[in-house]
Amino acid sequence: MPRNRTLVCVVAHPDDDAHAIAGTIALHADEPDFRFVLVHATRGELGDIREGFAATRETLASVRQAEDEAAWAALGRVPDRHEWLGLPDGGVSSVPLDDVVAALEQVLLEEQPSVVVTFGPDGISGHPDHVTIGAATDAAFFRVQARGKFGLRRLAHTAVPQSVVDRWNERRRELGLFAFDPTEVYHLRGVPDERIGITIDCRTVADRIGAGLREHRSQHHVMSDDPDNPEQWNKRIKYEWHVIAWPPPEAETPALTDLFDGLS
């Protein structure tokens, strides 16, 4: 049986993917058996439009979708399959959950990936769209897995270790910037360091990740406090972290260094 190197990533908005799995995609980009499937719940039409940017409320969805597609081209590895579910930005939770789960279930049935990546219960920022699409992906994963199909070996939740958030907050205070408050929606949340099951060193592909990030021009002011400073970008793309949501990690299991570690 050939090894399964299909990865499905499910996120809420254009640019979520640039933070969640860009490092992994760049690291595996040139492997002939690697398949990359990306699912976006929304087209990000309610995103913030900074003053002077050439987009309107009516055009922002198309702008952001084009930016996301350009970002993967700039990174050097476009998705083999890219699904846009067209759910309402800011209103994913208003759609019947079972409908969202069914749409994702169909993708997983068709692709039978080895690894699925999405948001955990904290949504990284508490964004309701992140939380809802993460929960729907988890539900779809377990529904398909219950059918006994090939694939679905690992479910991972993108995350940031609490120690990293603490370090970033310390630096932000030094610079006179607000610190992330986990009780506030849209503020970064950390997870306890011991829950991080996968730490991926992305430094060798940082230039490729940065090239992708820079294509999300409409959201640079949201993605960074200093978007025109290349040093700021580089500091944020050294590592990628994930919590292993399934299978439950055994006690004292060493942290993995790749989403496919240990999978045949």
pLDDT of residue 85 exceeding 90, the answer is yes
Distance CA 15, CA 66 (A): 11
The per-residue pLDDT for range 98-119, each reduced to its tens digit, is 999 999 999 999 999 999 999 9
Which superfamily does 6-246 belong to? Answer: LmbE-like (3.40.50.10320)
pLDDT of residue 150 exceeding 90, the answer is no
- How would you classify the pairing of strands 154-159 and 35-40? unpaired
Distance CA 153, CA 55 (A): 41
pLDDT at 235 (0 to 100): 67
Distance CA 101, CA 137 (A): 7
H-run or E-run covering 25: helix 22-28
Distance of CA 78 to the CA centre of its chain: 15
The four Cα atoms 148, 98, 11, 3 give a dihedral, to 10 degrees, of 10
The per-residue pLDDT for range 186-200, each reduced to its tens digit, is 999 999 999 999 999
pLDDT at 255 (0 to 100): 85
pLDDT at 229 (0 to 100): 72
Instruction: Look up tokens 């860009």; give the residue.
Output: 22
Domain ranges of the chain: 6-246
Mean pLDDT of the region 52-74? 96
Distance CA 140, CA 117 (A): 12
